[in-house]
Amino acid sequence: MSSILTVCPVCDATTKLSSEVQPAEVISCTDCRSRLVIESLTANKAVLKEAPEVEEDWGE
């Protein structure tokens, strides 16, 4: 099983992803624990962005 190296957009740390991750999957940075979403994915490169905050809907 191979892995994909990418950079956290929050703290610039190198993050290793499993080769089994999928686009739009939410992961956590191993350094800063930020919630990140995989924006795009190729065979050896992943682009991450910070995941949006979950907002309360107050039952609406």
Spans of all domains in the chain: 3-50
Fold exhibited by the domain 3-50: Rubrerythrin, domain 2 (2.20.28)
Give tens-digit pLDDT for 2-59.
788 899 999 999 988 988 899 999 999 999 999 999 999 987 889 999 998 876 666 6
Instruction: Give the span between the Cα atoms of 5 and 12, in whole angstroms.
Output: 12
pLDDT value, residue 11: 96
Residue keyed to tokens 């994915």: 41
pLDDT value, residue 57: 66
Task: Find the largest Cα–Cα distance for the chain.
Answer: 44
pLDDT value, residue 3: 84
pLDDT value, residue 2: 75
Element spanning 5, H or E: strand 3-7
Its pTM stands at: 0.77
pLDDT value, residue 6: 92
